[in-house]
Amino acid sequence: MCGIAGIFHAETPKPVDPLRVERMCDALAHRGPDGAGVWTDHGVGLGHRRLSIIDLAGSPQPMHSPDGKAVIVFNGEIYNFRELRRELEHAGSTFRTSGDTEVILAAWQKWGPDCVERLDGMFAFAVFDRDKRQLFLARDRFGVKPLFLAQLSDGSIAFASELKGLLAHPLLRRRVDPHAIEAYMAWGYVPDTHAMLAGVEKLPAGHFWLLEQGKAPGRPQRWWDIDFTQRERGSEADLSAQLVHLLRESVRSRMVADVPLGAFLSGGVDSSCVVALMSEASSQPVQTCSIGFDVAAYDETSYARQVAAKFGADHAEQVVATDDFAAIDQLAAMFDEPFADASALPTWRVCQLARERVTVALSGDGADEAFAGYRRQVFHHHEERARSVLPAGLRVPLFGALGRAWPKADWAPRPLRAKATLLALAESGEHGYARGLSVTLPDARRALYSDSFAASLDGFRAEDELIALMRSAPGRSGLDRAQYADLMFWMPGDILTKVDRTSMAVSLEAREPLLDHRLVGFAARLPERMRVRGGTGKYLLKKSLERYLPRDILYRPKQGFVTPIAEWLRGPLAGAARGIATGGLAQTGFFRSQAIAALAEAHIAGRADHSRTLWQLLMLEKSLSRLEVNG
């Protein structure tokens, strides 16, 4: 795992100062503490920071092809590199190293842009072809590895693994994009369709960008997509056998490393599945780690210990105090852009624990998105059935009126919190799902915005992007479209961003075997009854794992990492919550200070739960302060 950066002059090639590339890479030193390198040629500069995982001494970067005609910087891992190497050797390629980086170079020289379709892995890389004077930038199918881009005032295009790499370039303008703030306030993260600074973009997941000197830059092109339009045929037993085979293959392929390797273990279905299959494939005890909390309601370590004991894992755990809020400034520094998923804090802590013992850790991320494991997906599936039998002329006025009248009972048991469901049923499936995913709803956001900021949005509303994505999704049902949106929008922007930044902050490589593209493709073809059965998601996955895991692991309520931000903002962070209305965020002119103050006081007094919105505003304030924006 590594950090990459570079500068490319397309239309008018100019010399590239290697010191600029070096500074960009130095900003990414946490991603690659084991080595660094910079290479420049006319109109191009490539830089690299290395975290050694495979071929520890033999694959320095930037790496040149044996004939010197191509140069690469690469962040990620290619799991099928040995098979590709054999195929390329039969075709005449020669190799000087035993790692995966040189395989990508040879694949580029053999197949050009089509090389990405043959790569099984997580990656963001740049290849410069010296004969064609082309720069090829590519990102993996799901966006596990990030790549930020910026077109600068001198005509160059700069790229880096994190925004802080671009911030090291003196020509990057630090002006906020209002659309990014609107998107962040809706979702709690800045999705890949936006970047916090105007002029900065993110190469989307499953896309490449081919640039050529002497030509105007075009736009990135999609090279991969998920297809939910087909359905697998066969009995439940047959589908279960196929699923277990794919799970085994995906886990085993990600256990290749020349450094210590382990796994995160929460005690939930997905991480327990990964540990079970790792144990099956390994002759040594799997090293696992878990984070617990000093409040029983948030703690799952007993389940993790149960799984570790079942498979003879070498298990470590650490208890984190629920007053761990002092670390939020460090979180803001990790993410650059504002990031309000509070589970980032325990995720960072478990990465720190893992790094004390291993350099690579496998996670269970991706299964909820692929197999319909989220409650919101199950609810949406049933809501879509209701929409299909109730005519819109009846449904919209009836449920709309009920939803508007129903009290917003944040304090009540989940079955009594019907307001969101009623409002969702009054809308289309896409509108309802977007409403369910939103952290702060449109009317609530608008009440916080100043008039001038609202006008700068020029009618843009964050939910419209998700709605459009769902409507154009290659799927046959509402459940298909919801899962597609989660895989293509939510997952790269939230889940994968969280894991990448928190793991890279401690120089740990995290791998996601449940995001193997063949496994996800199979999950997308499963009949809906094999994904959702009654009120349960991940039906076939859980049934298939009954041979490995006890029922109280498979069928207990989903919990996940929980951080007590509501309590923090009423207690030790109450002063910080009040301070948002008069602090740095208030000075931007983007928000109404009185509205923020009223929100904070209502939450602190216990009249309402505004913790998620206040947390968003607090993390936004810290991010903008670090970015040193100038308008």
Q: What is the pLDDT of residues 404-418, one digit of tens each?
A: 666 665 544 444 456
Q: 539 in a domain, yes or no?
A: yes
Helix (H, G, I), strand (E, B) or coil at 183: helix
Q: Which phi and psi angles does 221 have, rounded to 5°?
A: -120, 140
Model confidence at 630: pLDDT above 80: no
Do 17 and 149 lie in a common domain? yes
Q: 428 in a domain, yes or no?
A: no
Q: What is the pLDDT of residues 296-352, one digit of tens each?
A: 777 788 999 999 999 999 999 988 776 777 788 999 999 999 999 999 998 999 999
Q: 414 in a domain, yes or no?
A: no
Q: What is the CATH number of the domain that holds 168?
A: 3.60.20.10
Model confidence at 50: pLDDT above 90: no
In 3D space, the residue among 23, 31, 108 whose CA is nearest the CA of residue 65 turns out to be 108
**More confidently predicted of 122 and 384:** 122
Computed over every residue of the chain, the mean pLDDT equals: 92
Domain end point (choices 494, 526, 555): 555
pLDDT tier for residue 395 given thresholds of 50, 70 and 90: low
Give residue 631's pLDDT.
Answer: 57
Do 214 and 246 lie in a common domain? no
Give residue 422's pLDDT.
Answer: 64
- Whether 155 has a binding-site annotation, put simply, is no
Whole-angstrom distance, CA of residue 531 vs CA of residue 486 = 15
On whether the CB atoms of residues 441 and 403 are closer than 8 A, the answer is: no
Model confidence at 172: pLDDT above 70: yes
Q: What is the CATH number of the domain that holds 350?
A: 3.40.50.620
- Sign of the four-CA dihedral 377, 379, 385, 387: negative
**More confidently predicted of 401 and 227:** 227
User: Under 8 Å CB-to-CB from 419, ≥6 apart: which residues?
Assistant: 403, 406, 407, 408, 409
Q: What is the pLDDT of residues 522-563, one digit of tens each?
A: 999 999 999 999 888 999 999 999 999 999 999 988 766 667
Q: What is the pLDDT of residues 465-524, one digit of tens each?
A: 999 999 999 999 999 999 999 999 999 999 999 999 999 999 999 999 999 999 999 999
Instruction: Give CA separation, 483 vs 222, 405, 467, 471, 520, in Å.
Output: 19, 30, 13, 12, 11
In 3D space, the residue among 235, 245, 204 whose CA is nearest the CA of residue 221 turns out to be 204
Whole-angstrom distance, CA of residue 72 vs CA of residue 317 = 39
Domain end point (choices 222, 249, 283): 222
Q: Which H or E run includes 315? A: strand 314-320
Percent of the chain with pLDDT over 90: 80
Give residue 413's pLDDT.
Answer: 43
Tokens coding 141 = 């199918």
Do 156 and 175 lie in a common domain? yes
Give residue 347's pLDDT.
Answer: 93
Do 507 and 576 lie in a common domain? no
Tokens coding 259 = 């450094």
Do 58 and 180 lie in a common domain? yes
Burial (0-12, 13-18, 19+ Cβ within 10 Å), 557? exposed
Give residue 203's pLDDT.
Answer: 98
Whole-angstrom distance, CA of residue 362 vs CA of residue 78 = 15
User: Under 8 Å CB-to-CB from 531, ≥6 apart: which residues?
Assistant: 371, 372, 479, 483, 523, 537, 538, 539, 540
Do 127 and 248 lie in a common domain? no
In 3D space, the residue among 232, 233, 313 whose CA is nearest the CA of residue 272 turns out to be 313
Amino acid at 550: P
Q: 229 in a domain, yes or no?
A: no
Angle, vertex CA 76, rays to CA 71 and CA 80, nearest 5: 90
* Mean pLDDT on 441-460: 97
Q: What is the pLDDT of residues 177-203, one digit of tens each?
A: 999 999 999 999 999 999 999 999 999
Do 99 and 9 lie in a common domain? yes
Helix (H, G, I), strand (E, B) or coil at 584: helix
Helix (H, G, I), strand (E, B) or coil at 282: coil
Catalytic pick from 2, 115, 273, 351?
Answer: 2
Model confidence at 620: pLDDT above 90: yes
Give residue 257's pLDDT.
Answer: 85
- Whether 4 has a binding-site annotation, put simply, is no
Whole-angstrom distance, CA of residue 64 vs CA of residue 40 = 12
Q: 597 in a domain, yes or no?
A: yes
Do 246 and 186 lie in a common domain? no
3-state helix, strand, coil in the chain (%, to 5): 45, 15, 35
Domain end point (choices 508, 528, 555): 555
Helix (H, G, I), strand (E, B) or coil at 256: coil
Q: 455 in a domain, yes or no?
A: no
Q: 67 in a domain, yes or no?
A: yes
User: Under 8 Å CB-to-CB from 84, ≥6 apart: which residues?
Assistant: 78, 103, 107, 118, 119
- Whether 451 has a binding-site annotation, put simply, is no
* Mean pLDDT on 290-295: 82
292-298: list long-range contacts, CB under 8 Å, 24+ apart: 292/317, 292/318, 292/319, 292/320, 293/319, 293/320, 293/321, 293/322, 293/346, 293/562, 294/319, 294/320, 294/321, 294/322, 295/322, 295/564, 297/562, 298/322, 298/562, 298/563, 298/564
On whether the CB atoms of residues 307 and 281 are closer than 8 A, the answer is: no
Amino acid at 401: A
Q: Which residues of 311-321 are buried (b: 16+ CB within 10 A; e: fewer)?
A: bebebbbeebe
Do 64 and 135 lie in a common domain? yes
Do 79 and 198 lie in a common domain? yes
Tokens coding 139 = 């990102």
Query: Is 351 an annotated catalytic residue?
Result: no
Tokens coding 265 = 């273990």
Q: 456 in a domain, yes or no?
A: no
Do 262 and 212 lie in a common domain? no
Tokens coding 477 = 């049902």
Do 180 and 297 lie in a common domain? no
Model confidence at 598: pLDDT above 70: yes
**Hey, which of 315-319, 382-386, 390-394, 589-593 has the most confident mean pLDDT?**
589-593
- Whether 580 has a binding-site annotation, put simply, is no
The model's pTM: 0.93
On whether the CB atoms of residues 586 and 600 are closer than 8 A, the answer is: no
Sheet hosting strand 156-160, strand order edge to edge? 35-41, 44-50, 2-9, 156-160, 148-151, 200-202
State how many domains the chain has: 3
User: Under 8 Å CB-to-CB from 394, ≥6 apart: which residues?
Assistant: none
In 3D space, the residue among 582, 492, 511 whose CA is nearest the CA of residue 120 turns out to be 511
Give residue 15's pLDDT.
Answer: 92
Amino acid at 71: V
Percent of the chain with pLDDT over 70: 92
Whole-angstrom distance, CA of residue 69 vs CA of residue 127 = 10
Whole-angstrom distance, CA of residue 595 vs CA of residue 358 = 47
- Domain extent for 619: 564-630
